[in-house]
């Protein structure tokens, strides 16, 4: 270690220049597409005029400073506040109702000793993860429409038809369910792998001591899974500002803006719909700063509690 550090960098570089060469394409790419746009963030503090210069990007330089005006403005807007509230409500609903299901699913599936059954069920439940949100939204629009299977069944059972995609009182539940439908199976993989990594001798020993399946689940599988569960929960909570932009943008419509408009969709409509680029940037910046803080905190909490981290 010491010997390496003492070598002059130039001779090290001469022998290993190709290692740095390998990094160049990726560095150029993120410079153009990730770092340069960072300058565009100043839009949040400016009054943007897209045509102040030759290109929209150069116009950012030319536009006059506006201070914190846009940030003060957005906090006076009720649609921004409702988007912020919706983001948190939808995220929390998803955590409460979806997060535990993959854990239960992995534990239950692990109890099945028939390998063919196990494999075929996994094949089925992992599939929706690979469908795009446009497809999944399409499936649910067909399923929940007035002539969809769900309404057909409701009517034949003597109930009224339900306007699932147009009704503020039920649309969030539709969002939670369809997100669960898409991701529950896939999320179970990590728990399934964790169960497979548990010490099999514990199960043997407990069987000799007369433990039944419930006791094995309660006293061996669940405690063994605890570190993974805690880690995943911390990561999930750290991502609370992401309530499902790709999902909501394709599934929502003006009748349910009240309950389903989240920060991401709000930014999209304000900036590309109403062309308020400065307001859109301000809201986006507000959101990504909170998200950054939460993710970094989540990572350090995870590191402290489980010794594992995301990066």
Please give the residues from 137 up to 156 whose contact with other proteins meets the rule CB under 8 A.
137-143, 145-149, 151-153, 155
Residues 267, 287 contacting (CB under 8 angstroms) = yes
Query: Interface with other proteins includes 305 (CB under 8 A)?
Result: no
Query: Interface with other proteins includes 244 (CB under 8 A)?
Result: no
Pick the binder of other proteins from 71, 97, 126, 203 (CB under 8 A): 126
Count Cβ atoms within 10 A of the Cβ of residue 175 and give its class: 0-12 exposed, 13-18 middle, 19 or more buried. Answer: buried
Helix 100-111 to helix 115-126 angle, to the nearest 10 degrees?
A: 160
User: Got the DSSP string for 143-191?
Assistant: HHSTTSHHHHHHHHTTPPP--TTT-TTTHHHHHHHHHHHHHHHHHHHHH
- Rounded least distance, CB 82 to other proteins, Å: 18
Distance set, CA 224 to CA 30, 179, 199, 202, 220 (Å): 40, 27, 9, 10, 6
Binding residues with other proteins: total (CB under 8 A): 109
DSSP 112: -
Query: Interface with other proteins includes 22 (CB under 8 A)?
Result: yes
Q: Using CB under 8 A as the criterion, what x/- string covers residues 65-104 for binding other proteins?
A: ----------------------------------------
Pick the binder of other proteins from 123, 205, 222, 305 (CB under 8 A): 123
Nearest one of 58, 28, 90, 106 to 251, comparing CA atoms:
90
- Rounded least distance, CB 51 to other proteins, Å: 12
Question: Residue 138: how many CB atoms within 10 A of its CB?
Answer: 14
Pick the binder of other proteins from 215, 253, 297, 300 (CB under 8 A): 253
Compare residues 55 and 78 and give the one whose CB is closer to other proteins.
55
Rounded distance between C-alpha atoms, residue 159 and residue 153, angstroms: 9
Q: Using CB under 8 A as the criterion, what x/- string covers residues 173-192 for binding other proteins?
A: --------x---xx--xx--
Rounded distance between C-alpha atoms, residue 53 and residue 202, angstroms: 70
Residues 210, 216 contacting (CB under 8 angstroms) = no
- Rounded least distance, CB 38 to other proteins, Å: 5
- Rounded least distance, CB 284 to other proteins, Å: 4
Query: Interface with other proteins includes 309 (CB under 8 A)?
Result: yes
Compare residues 89 and 139 and give the one whose CB is closer to other proteins.
139
- Rounded least distance, CB 116 to other proteins, Å: 13
């Amino acid at each position: 270690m010491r010997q390496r550090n003492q070598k002059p960098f130039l001779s090290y570089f001469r022998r290993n220049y190709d290692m740095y060469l390998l990094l160049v394409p990726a560095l150029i790419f993120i410079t153009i597409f990730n770092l340069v746009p960072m300058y565009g963030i100043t839009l949040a503090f400016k009054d943007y005029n897209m045509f102040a210069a030759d290109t929209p990007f150069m116009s950012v330089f030319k536009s006059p400073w506006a201070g914190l005006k846009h940030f003060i403005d957005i906090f006076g807007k009720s649609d921004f506040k409702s988007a912020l509230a919706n983001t948190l409500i939808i995220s929390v609903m998803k955590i409460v109702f979806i997060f535990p299901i993959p854990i239960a699913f992995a534990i239950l599936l692990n109890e099945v000793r028939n390998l063919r059954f196990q494999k075929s069920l996994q094949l089925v439940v992992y599939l929706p993860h690979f469908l795009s949100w446009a497809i999944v939204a399409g499936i649910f629009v067909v399923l929940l429409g007035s002539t969809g299977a769900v309404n057909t069944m409701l009517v034949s059972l003597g109930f009224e038809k339900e306007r699932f995609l147009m009704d503020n009182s039920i649309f969030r539940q539709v969002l939670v369910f369809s997100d669960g439908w898409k991701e529950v199976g896939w999320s179970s993989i990590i728990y399934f792998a964790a169960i497979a990594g548990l010490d099999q001798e514990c199960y043997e020993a407990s069987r000799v001591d007369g433990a039944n399946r419930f006791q094995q689940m309660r006293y061996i599988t669940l405690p063994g899974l605890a570190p993974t569960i805690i880690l995943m929960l911390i990561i999930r909570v750290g991502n609370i500002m992401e309530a499902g932009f790709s999902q909501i943008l394709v599934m929502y419509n003006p009748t349910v803006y009240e309950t389903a408009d989240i920060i991401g969709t709000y930014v999209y409509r304000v900036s590309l719909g109403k062309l308020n680029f400065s307001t859109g940037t301000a809201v986006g910046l507000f959101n990504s700063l909170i998200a950054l803080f939460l993710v970094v905190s989540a990572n350090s909490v995870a590191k402290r509690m489980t010794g594992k981290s995301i990066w």
